Chain A
Amino acid sequence: MKGAVLPRPAADAGADAWHDYVYLRDNPRGAYEEYWHHTSGCRRWLVVSRDTATHEVYACQDAADAKAVRA
């Protein structure tokens, strides 16, 4: 599943990689990964795993931690 949370390509990764990163997303019914921003609170960006049909939230991780884990 290709959610909203994608690793940013290297600057020289080429046009295709960048096109893919900037424009292309899956739009599934079911599990999905999104960036959420706690704007009225701690102002952290979060990676939220959510079911787009039921809105059930499976997991939530600070975006910085998520990047460290995935790197």
Chain B
Amino acid sequence: MTSYRLAGGGLINRQMPQNFTFDGRVMTGFAGDTLASALLANGRQLVGRSFKYHRPRGVLTAGSAEPNALMTIGRGGRTEPNTRATMVELYEGLEAQSQNRWPTLEHDIGAVNGLLSPFLSAGFYYKTFMWPARFWEKLYEPVIRRAAGLGRASYEADPDTYEKCWAHCDLLVIGAGATGLMAALAAGRSGLRVILIDENADLGGYLLSETALIDGRPASAFVRSAVDELESLANVQVMARITAFGWYDGQVFGAVERVQKHVAVPDAMRPVERLWRIAAKKAILATGAEERPLVFGGNDVPGVMMAGAMRSYLNRYAVAPGKRVAVFTTNDSGYALANDLEVSGVNVAALIDSRRDAAIAYSGKARLVHGGFVSNVQGSKAVEGIEIWREGQRETLDIDSLAMSGGFSPVIHLACHRGGKPRWSDEHSAFLAPDGLSDLTLAGSAAGVFGLQAAMMSGAKAAEAALADLGVAHAGVAMPLVEGEIVPEPAKPLWSIPGIKAKAFVDYQNDVHLKDLGLAVQEGYGHVELAKRYTTNGMATDQGKLSNVNAIGLLAEARRISPAEVGTTTFRPFYTPVSFGALAGASHGKHFQPVRRSPLHGWAEKNGATFVETGLWYRSAWFPRAGETGWRASVDREVKTVRSAVGLCDVSMLGKIEICGPDAAEFLNRIYCNAFLKLPVGKARYGLMLREDGFIYDDGTNSRMTEDRYFMTTTTAYAAGVMNHLEFCAQALWPELDVRLASVTDQWAQMAVAGPKSRAVLEQLVDDDISNDAFPYLGAKDVSLLGGRLRGRLFRISFSGELAFELAVPADFGESIADAVMLAGKAHGICAYGVEALSVLRIEKGHVTHNEINGTVVPADLGFGKMVSTAKPDFIGRQMVGREGLVDAMRPQLVGVVPLDPTVSFRSGAHILKKDAAATLENDEGYVTSSCFSPHVGSTIGLALVKGGASRHGEEVQIWNGLRNEFAIGRLVSPVFVDPAHEKLHV
């Protein structure tokens, strides 16, 4: 016989039927059902297949610990696998699919894994890795991947939106059962800013499944009035469908709210989930306790259920588990279930109590078996009977469903998220929260307090303590009177059960059974952290909510020590799975990361730029023109135009930092390794910044605009890092220097105007005299533009080696000035050029970038040895740059490299080998750091860091790319391919 809906009772709304499908079959439940209760009401007990052995599985719990009833909900982009049916509210049109079965749930070919189970035991993965690799790659891994698993994610994009919020309160109460409601009432009435959260749609926790009376009324009526009162208080925020998943630094709790997971088609104007960060001065954990399964043979057959869950389905959802039920318990909670079943007209065949001396009075009709155990369940897809073991005697009993209760484990996960270890209490037969949690208090059954009356008291007391800590007067709260409850006082735990023949599961979700744990101990993996990984116990998506304590108890017994000595594994967020959607929030698509557009972006678009992403920047890479066959054609044309006429390149993304103050000169003198103290006003200088360990950090130009004002440029990639570094030096190292720093990267649009015609072009815009006499190489000054309509900054600096200027104007004027430059340059054949041409121009000139400044080079390696001041008393890196290993003549040094045959090319990253050396890494002499095709040279050229390279110009070498099997014979040359005397800079 299967489960079925009772004719009356329950908190479901029978006026509101809800149609849904399970594996395509249409079924009907009621509003107020969960997917699990609706399936049970429809007689559906087989709801899934297990992870490894594909065993038939049924609903085990009525809450968030569910390991078996995992479903895929929804379709298309809304497909959500591995959803716990016990936590899914039923709604009209819900589509659910069972998982891990093929072709159907009833007839699953993967169940043969059960026959292979001797090979799938604990340590399976470790052991098979020891077998030959070809076995693993060809056979085991593909087979396991197909056979073992959970649901499948959709390949379609999620159409829904998610958001993130912060909330702040005096007191956060987590869990709105008896304990949490009383805590929130006590604190709320006293005026605290309270947030009360609960993971279920309906507040009340287990009160909604209770038959005990509160103040003479059903418990659900008490819940309703308590929630009504809380919602009427302006200082209390009540939230349902929100799970606190972690406790973090600074007393911040993470929580996920399922705003619209209970509707078929969400309202597009609202998120489906919200990720909350709740900063609470105080928090009360009223998360209740988890009932422990018992580990007997066939304890996973559909129809075996936790006793408390069976009672929930019966009382709250009006679902009977079957016609003939047995209850197997170690404590008094099984009696409450037996009584309620009988009241609902369900035949209780036997109440099997593992205690010989249970003191509780029982007046029901069930046969009471004291000192008995259920050893095995008969049946595979449904319970057909049980084998009872009592004093060495076996007896079988025909039943169709079985409830079990192995006692209760307080839900303490959040209390352990900040490093505290749970402690075993013999008195409670359970692990309790760590001691010394200052602003987090546990109350009710989460604190090992059992029974409704005691839990309510405990909740109110915890609120009182929070009030006292916060210095708020307590308004007082009358304690409701609970009648007719059976208090499940902690009983002696029962780990090992005698007479087991079939597989007895410890971790349902990962298919870890009793023998696996035994094997782990036998093979030396008995330590709790090792056993976990060896058997995978507790590593499934339920994180061992039902299995961990049983595993610890069984390990303790096997090793003949106390659970206290075994200890627990580490509790980490998340308490329950959280969707990637919620964690990502709005940060996807174009909101995943910001885009930085240069002030000249519009100018570049107009000129047909192809953009390339560098960090967050979109930089113009090249500017293709009609008839050009590929990027190389465009780049070659741009390079030639700059060398022969003039080009404009956007360099706005260089880092720009303004340094001012009376001590700015002294500050910069300590920042750069070369001299800066005597840089004249109106002059720019190339500067090298070292790290304190002597290696080069960054380079760039620095211009003294006025006596106490400097304009620094950094490389694009290091702009933020250099700013941090300067601030560190100014604040932490030399606060006595009077200097101020401002990042002005975004304030200035900056353009390089380079080429022999650059002056002729700029003279049309710049009012000042910029002749070579008036404004020589390395000049830097404020200039007037367009007849005094705008002021900008002009620098006579060159990355290309040609006569060149960089013009900076306020960012908003960038595009129009660039347009004006293009217009003025038209007669001179100006072209826009991108970073690819910029790179070719600088390689031809032997200028370095972070390809060469790779964190392992000192100034001398790049030919900058003379720049390192010996006169300055101090600068960053001064001491360490002189270390023995950094002045060795055979260090890698910058050289140029060209192929002997100009038709042969090579790539960056290729190794340099001596001419006759074998191509091995042992013979490596250095590598190509930058390479390009040089229109000027007419072949590929490169810069390289080669051992002692500065003294090897002229040497023939091999250029070897072992990854691509490319060889070229080349020659080491000067790194300056263009205008080695630098005459072009000074015209």
> Using a CB–CB distance below 8 Å, which chain A residues touch chain B?
8-11, 13, 15, 18, 21-23, 35, 37, 39, 43-45, 53-55, 62-64, 66-68
In the assembled complex, the Cα of A9 lies from the Cα of B693 at a distance in Å of 13
B residues apposed to A, CB below 8 Å = 249, 418-419, 692-693, 724, 727-728, 731-733, 735, 873-874, 878-880, 883
A15-B879 in contact given A39-B724, A55-B249 (Cβ < 8 Å): yes
How far is the CB of A44 from the nearest CB of chain B, in Å? 6
- By the criterion CB–CB under 8 Å, are B724 and A68 in contact? no
The interface residues of chain A lying within 8 Å CB-to-CB of B731 are 44-45, 62-64
For B732, the chain A residues whose CB sits under 8 A away are: 35, 45, 63-64, 66-67
CB-CB under 8 A for A11 and B879, given A35-B728, A63-B732: yes
Q: Closest residue of chain B to A38, judged by CB?
A: B727
Known: A11-B879, A22-B692. 7 other contacts (CB 8 A): A9-B879, A11-B874, A15-B883, A54-B418, A54-B419, A67-B732, A68-B735
- Return the contact of B419 from the options A21, A35, A53 (Cβ within 8 A): A53
Interface contact A18-B249, CB-CB below 8 Å = no
Closest beta carbon of chain A to B215's beta carbon, Å: 43
Determine if B878 and A22 form an interchain contact, defined as CB atoms under 8 angstroms apart.
Answer: no
B418 contact set on A, CB distance < 8 A = 54-55
- Tell me the bound Cα distance from A18 to B879 in angstroms: 7
Contacts of A55 in B (CB 8 A): 249, 418
Task: Decide: B727 and A43 in contact? CB cutoff 8 A.
Answer: yes
Q: How far is the CB of A66 from chain B (nearest CB, A)?
A: 8
Chain A residue with Cβ nearest B420: A54
Instruction: Write out the residue numbers on chain B whose beta carbons fall within 8 Å of the beta carbon of A37.
Output: 724, 727-728
| Interface pair A45/B728, CB less than 8 Å apart | yes
A2→B810 CA distance, assembly (Å): 47
Select from chain B the residue with minimum beta-carbon distance to A56: B249
Give bound CA distance, A9 to B692, whole Å.
11
The distance in angstroms between the C-alpha atoms of A54 and B874, with both chains bound, is 39
Partner of B880, one of A18, A44, A67, A68: A18
Q: Measured between alpha carbons, how far is A18 from B735 in the docked complex, in Å?
A: 21
Q: How far is the CA of A62 from the CA of B728 in the complex (A)?
A: 11
Give the top 4 A-B pairs by smallest Cβ distance, nearest first: A64-B735, A63-B732, A11-B874, A55-B249
CB nearest to B882 among chain A residues: A15
Which residue of chain B lies nearest to A17 when distances are taken between CB atoms in the complex? Answer: B879
CB distance from A28 to the nearest CB of B (A): 15
Q: List 8 A-B contacts (CB under 8 A).
A: A10-B874, A11-B878, A21-B692, A37-B724, A45-B727, A45-B728, A45-B731, A64-B731
* Best-surrounded residue of B418, B419, B732, B733 (most CB of chain A within 10 A): B732
Q: How far apart sit A54 and B437, CA to CA, in the bound complex (Å)?
A: 11
Whole-angstrom distance between the alpha carbons of A8 and B736 in the complex? 14
What residue in chain A is nearest B720 (Cβ atoms)?
Answer: A39
Collect the chain B residues with CB atoms within 8 Å of residue A23's CB. 693
In the bound assembly, the distance between CA atoms of A62 and B730 in angstroms comes to 12
A50's closest neighbor in chain B, by CB?
B249
How long is the Cα–Cα vector from A35 to B728 in the complex, in angstroms?
9
Q: Which residue of B lies closest to A7 (CB)?
A: B733
Residues of B within 8 A of A22 (CB): 692-693, 880
Question: B821: shortest Cβ distance to chain A, in Å?
Answer: 34
Per the bound structure, the CA–CA distance linking A66 and B732 in Å amounts to: 8
Minimum Cβ distance to chain A for residue B873 (Å): 6
Contacts of B880 in A (CB 8 A): 18, 22
Give Cα distance in the complex from A35 to B732, angstroms.
Answer: 9
Closest chain B residue to A18, Cβ basis: B879
Give chain B nearest CB distance to A36 CB in angstroms. 11
* Chain B residues, Cβ within 8 Å of A39: 724
Nearest chain B residue, comparing its CB with the CB of A39 = B724
Closest partner residue, chain B, to A44 (CB atom): B731
- Contact between B735 and A67 (Cβ–Cβ < 8 Å)? yes
Distance in Å: Cβ of B726 to nearest Cβ of chain A: 10
Question: How far apart are B423's CB and chain A's nearest CB, in angstroms?
Answer: 17
In whole angstroms, how far apart are the Cα atoms of A67 and B737 in the complex?
A: 13
CA of A39 to CA of B720 in the docked complex: distance in angstroms?
10
A64 surroundings in chain B (CB, below 8 A): 731-732, 735
